[in-house]
Amino acid sequence: MVKWYEKPGSEPDVVISSRIRLARNLSNYPFYGHMTEEQMNRLAGDVKASLENINLGDNSLSFLSGDELTGYRGMSLVENHIVSPDFIQDGTGRMLVLSQDESISIMVNEEDHIRIQVMTSGLDLDSALEVASKIDDAIDASLNYAFDSQLGFLTACPSNLGTGLRASVMLHIPALEKAGSLNRLSGTLSKLGLTMRGTYGEGTKAVGSLYQISNQITLGISEEQAIKNLREIVSQIVEKEREAQKALVTSARFQDRIYRCFGTLKYAKMISTEEFFELISDFQIGISRGILTGSEFQRLSPERFNCLLFQIGGATLCQKEGRDLTAEERDELRAKIVQEALKE
């Protein structure tokens, strides 16, 4: 089954992915951190039972206990934004529900009892919300959510209180970054109830000019309004990034850089994660803005290289090979995977 990130998405030159996350808690259990292991296990069992009859077409769910998420298996899930780094630190009483295409993941007993996450390719928050709501409804139908008619959904952290919704998009905005526009953008987003984060969430640095933008406000606003806000702002950023890229590629030096990135991606025998993100970022500008001319570049699409972002993490490569790889082996395998993508 193809993974969610292998499906074509909207605005692929700038928007990598869209994500909806719902934070939910059950009224008949203490909040996470105040439960016994027995309670956590029972809660996980309740969630599993509530989802057993859900119809997701051919996209079946797997139920993984926290103990199974150790080593590269767990790290790979972090690399691909399926679970939080905290979630795999201690597997006790935890459960991960994961769909076959990896678009749906439910962390049970993370900061909240239940965190439903749905990812889609490109800019498509509505589809993600639709699937998340379906799962939300299925759980709600058999379990009792902690809900207050005034406040909405009760959450472990007050920042999620209300809708419990976090809608976010992962953007590739190298030209705005190079132009030094991100500080001002971040300030503007803040005033609009949105926030900009690094590639791997709060407090992380951006790698490969990848930034997450999400709604900050969950109280006194509907899910639909929050998503509409975010979508509108993102559409504006997409246009600004395209304009900035067009300005950037007028430079002969930058065009040279794009071709060099291609030469290295095509021929290097070892590529580190860090270098991969640097190379692919500028290379994608070249593809998106039509800088690379000549027959060998005609088949290249930004979608294909967006997929690579989810295929080249160190732990993800170990997961693919089914064993721990040395740093050198990972760099070699990463180069091979990139080169296979270039040959397609």
Query: What minimum distance in Å lies between the beta carbon of 335 and a copy of itself?
Result: 8
* Near a copy of itself in 289-328, by CB under 8 A: 328
Identified binder of a copy of itself from the candidate list 247, 263, 293, 299, rule CB under 8 A? 263
Is residue 235 within the footprint of a copy of itself (CB under 8 A)?
A: no
As measured in angstroms, the least distance from the Cβ of 249 to a copy of itself is 12
Comparing CB distances to a copy of itself, the nearer of 86 and 256 is: 256
3-state secondary structure the chain: CCCHHHCCCECCCCEEEEEEEEEECECCCCCCCCCCHHHHHHHHHHHHHHCCCCCCCCCCEEEEEHHHCCHHHHHHHHHCCCCCHHHHHCCCCCEEEEECCCCEEEEECCCCCEEEEEEEEECCHHHHHHHHHHHHHHHHHHCCECEECCCEECCCCHHHCECCEEEEEEEECHHHHHCCCHHHHHHHHHHCCEEEEECCECCCCCCCCEEEEEECCCCCCCHHHHHHHHHHHHHHHHHHHHHHHHHHCCCHHHHHHHHHHHHHHHHCCCCCHHHHHHHHHHHHHHHHCCCCCCHHHCCCCHHHHHHHCCCCCHHHHHHHHCCCCCHHHHHHHHHHHHHHHHHC
Residue with smaller CB distance to a copy of itself, 149 or 326 = 326
Query: Which one of the spans 76-84, 163-171, 201-209, 249-257 is the region binding a copy of itself (CB under 8 A)?
Result: 249-257
Among 262, 276, 277, 310, binds a copy of itself (CB under 8 A): 262
Binding footprint of a copy of itself, residue count (CB under 8 A): 17
Tell me how crowded residue 251 is: count the other CB atoms within 10 A of its CB. 10
- The nearer residue to a copy of itself, 269 or 323, going by C-beta atoms, is 269
- Judge whether 207 and 243 are in contact, CB under 8 Å: no
- Interacting span for a copy of itself (CB under 8 A) from 44-52, 61-69, 247-255, 311-319: 247-255
Q: Which is nearer to a copy of itself, 246 or 260 (CB)?
A: 260
Asked if 246 interacts with a copy of itself (CB under 8 A), we say no
- Give the residue with the Cβ less far from a copy of itself, 142 or 293: 293
Q: Decide: is 251 part of the binding site for a copy of itself (CB under 8 A).
A: no
Using CB under 8 A as the binding rule, whether residue 260 contacts a copy of itself is answered as yes
Enumerate residues 265-284 that contact a copy of itself by CB under 8 A: 265-270
Q: Which is nearer to a copy of itself, 19 or 334 (CB)?
A: 334
Cα 224 to chain centroid distance, Å, stands at 20
The binder of a copy of itself chosen from 34, 191, 205, 253 (CB under 8 A): 253
Least spacing, CB of residue 179 vs a copy of itself, in Å: 22
Verify binding: residue 207, a copy of itself, rule CB under 8 A. no
Q: How far is the CB of 343 from a copy of itself (least distance, A)?
A: 12
Whether 122 contacts 231, CB under 8 Å = no
Residue 283 CB, shortest distance to a copy of itself, in Å, is: 11
Q: Whole-angstrom distance between the N-terminal and C-terminal Cα of the chain?
A: 19
Minimum CB separation of residue 20 from a copy of itself in Å reads: 40
Return residues touching a copy of itself (CB under 8 A): 252-253, 255-256, 259-260, 262-270, 328, 332
